[in-house]
């Protein structure tokens, strides 16, 4: 059996959904499980809605209407009036209607997951109905009953034992009769609340299903020809990798290459399942094959740019050296606030930590750090990572920029720069 993942870019409009069906038709003779993300930028729109609702903002209704209209416009282009999918989608919206009528009493992360998850519930209803309309035998599956997580809202940790038991008990039977269409990015707790697996987590969902079902491969359909040496939205003259090892792909995603979610590769490597990254606009093209023994060449350096970075410098209030105790305390505060460290450097008297800015978490972290340490910080920074690089490339990339921190090893260089 095969696992396919279609991301937001592939289903951003009615033509995208029709193209998805065209790709799936080519593989209709296979057992197929299809993981779908929210359409286009719906997750961003729902994030805004969650924030507005939580903060009692005036534009809650307006933001919600935009999400509704976007989906109804696509549906009117794909289905005749009166198609049953309209009822399914209306019912999905009713759940939000109820929630928005009440005062926000729960934590922001909990509210976020209950609202933002609707993007994938909607997209899969639409994709499933469209596949059926084109004559494919497809079945909608609520992933929350299969991918089981703890209740760390916005970053659910998967309970692999329960998840694999759930998936193995029921999914093979379904796949022998139907194409299964399900939501990426979502999970469910034992109390039946919805969790999300972290932004861009649908690739990870595909990998969870593949690992539990011992799939032949996972294909993630993207708006790029495959994995390139750099993001083509930022750099020209990029080159595509035909093959890439699991290890190199994991390194790339760890450092922030957004083409694949960082958690995706490990379960596939453990199960020996290849990951294919292919262009949804040209389904017969080979794309990139990520596997154990890859014939990989680094004709050009791999470049990864992470924007919206913060660099915090921590020193002790009594001017003592940076000790193991201080390190451990700082790590603890980062972990408690779910802030992932991208780069860390120590000197005798201070500790510099670079991480992604997530406003709600940063403010809390900063106030806790301030209670115990002297803290300075710079924001709106960029973290540039190079792999398999020549010093000349690093020089070109940092030219005219203020370098705040630099760390190099034989294979990897990382610099934090201020954007002018």
Ligand X SMILES: N[C@@H](CC(=O)OP(=O)(O)O)C(=O)O
Using CB under 6 A as the criterion, which residues of the chain lie in contact with ligand ADP when the complex forms?
7-10, 37, 200, 222-224, 227-228, 230-233, 257-259
Q: How far is the CB of 50 from ligand X (least distance, A)?
A: 13
Q: CA 116, 118, 122, 127 torsion: positive or negative?
A: positive
Please identify, using beta-carbon distances, which residue of 43 and 315 lies nearer to ligand X. 43
The torsion angles phi and psi of 276, rounded to 5 degrees, stand at -105, 130
Enumerate residues 6+ apart whose C-beta is below 8 A from 176: 31
Q: Which does 230 bind (CB under 5 to 8 A by kind): ligand ADP, ligand X, none?
A: ligand ADP
CB 372 within 8 A of CB 319: no
The torsion angles phi and psi of 3, rounded to 5 degrees, stand at -115, 130
Q: How far is the CB of 221 from ligand ADP (least distance, A)?
A: 8
For residue 61, CA distances in Å to 38, 52, 67, 276, 284 come to 20, 9, 10, 41, 43
Q: Which does 199 bind (CB under 5 to 8 A by kind): ligand X, ligand ADP, none?
A: ligand X
CB 263 within 8 A of CB 207: yes
Interstrand relation of 412-418 and 243-245 (parallel, antiparallel or unpaired): unpaired
Q: Which does 112 bind (CB under 5 to 8 A by kind): ligand ADP, ligand X, none?
A: none
Please identify, using beta-carbon distances, which residue of 146 and 389 lies nearer to ligand X. 146
Q: How far is the CB of 329 from ligand X (least distance, A)?
A: 32
Please identify, using beta-carbon distances, which residue of 231 and 242 lies nearer to ligand ADP. 231
Q: Which does 201 bind (CB under 5 to 8 A by kind): ligand X, ligand ADP, none?
A: ligand X
- Local structure of residue 216 (DSSP, 8 states): S
Please identify, using beta-carbon distances, which residue of 47 and 106 lies nearer to ligand X. 47
Q: How far is the CB of 387 from ligand ADP (least distance, A)?
A: 11
Q: Which residues bind ligand X (CB under 6 A)?
A: 7-8, 37-38, 43, 119, 184-185, 199-202
- The tokens describing 237, both together, are 């003259």
Q: Which does 184 bind (CB under 5 to 8 A by kind): ligand ADP, ligand X, none?
A: ligand X
H helices present in 155-199, as ranges: 160-175
């Amino acid at each position: 059996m095969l696992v396919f993942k279609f991301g937001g870019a592939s289903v951003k409009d009615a033509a995208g959904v029709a193209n998805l069906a065209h790709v799936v038709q080519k593989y209709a003779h296979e057992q197929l499980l299809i993981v779908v993300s929210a359409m286009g930028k719906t997750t961003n729109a729902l994030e805004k809605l969650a924030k507005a609702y939580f903060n009692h903002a005036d534009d809650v209704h307006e933001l919600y209407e935009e999400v509704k209209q976007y989906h109804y416009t696509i549906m009117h282009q794909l289905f005749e009036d009166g198609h049953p999918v309209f009822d399914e989608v209306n019912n999905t919206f009713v759940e939000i209607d109820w929630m928005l009528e009440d005062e926000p009493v729960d934590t922001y992360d909990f509210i976020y997951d209950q609202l933002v998850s609707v993007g994938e519930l909607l997209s899969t209803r639409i994709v499933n109905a469209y596949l059926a309309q084109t004559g494919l035998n497809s079945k909608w599956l609520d992933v929350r009953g299969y991918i089981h997580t703890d209740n760390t809202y916005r970053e659910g940790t998967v309970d692999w034992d329960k998840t694999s038991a759930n998936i193995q008990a029921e999914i093979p039977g379904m796949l022998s009769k139907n194409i299964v269409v399900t939501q990426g990015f979502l999970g469910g707790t034992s109390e039946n609340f919805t969790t999300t697996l972290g932004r861009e987590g649908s690739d990870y969902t595909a990998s969870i299903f593949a690992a539990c079902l011992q799939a032949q491969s996972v294909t993630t359909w993207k708006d790029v020809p495959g994995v390139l040496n750099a993001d083509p939205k930022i750099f020209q003259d990029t080159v595509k990798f035909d093959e890439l090892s699991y290890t190199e792909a994991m390194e790339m995603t760890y450092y922030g290459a957004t083409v694949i979610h960082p958690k995706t590769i490990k379960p596939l490597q453990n199960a020996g399942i290849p990951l294919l990254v292919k262009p949804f606009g040209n389904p017969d093209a080979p794309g990139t094959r990520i596997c154990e023994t890859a014939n990989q060449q680094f004709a050009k350096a791999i470049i990864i740019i992470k924007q919206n970075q913060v660099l915090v410098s921590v020193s002790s209030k009594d001017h003592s050296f940076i000790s193991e105790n201080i390190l451990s305390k700082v790590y603890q505060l980062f972990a408690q606030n779910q802030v992932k460290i991208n780069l860390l450097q120590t000197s005798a008297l201070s500790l510099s930590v670079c991480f992604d800015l997530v406003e709600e978490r940063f403010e809390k972290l900063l106030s806790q750090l301030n209670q115990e340490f002297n803290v300075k910080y710079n924001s709106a920074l960029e973290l540039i990572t190079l792999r398999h690089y020549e010093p000349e490339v690093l020089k070109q990339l940092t030219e005219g920029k203020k370098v705040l921190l630099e760390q190099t090893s034989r294979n990897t260089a990382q610099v934090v720069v201020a954007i002018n």
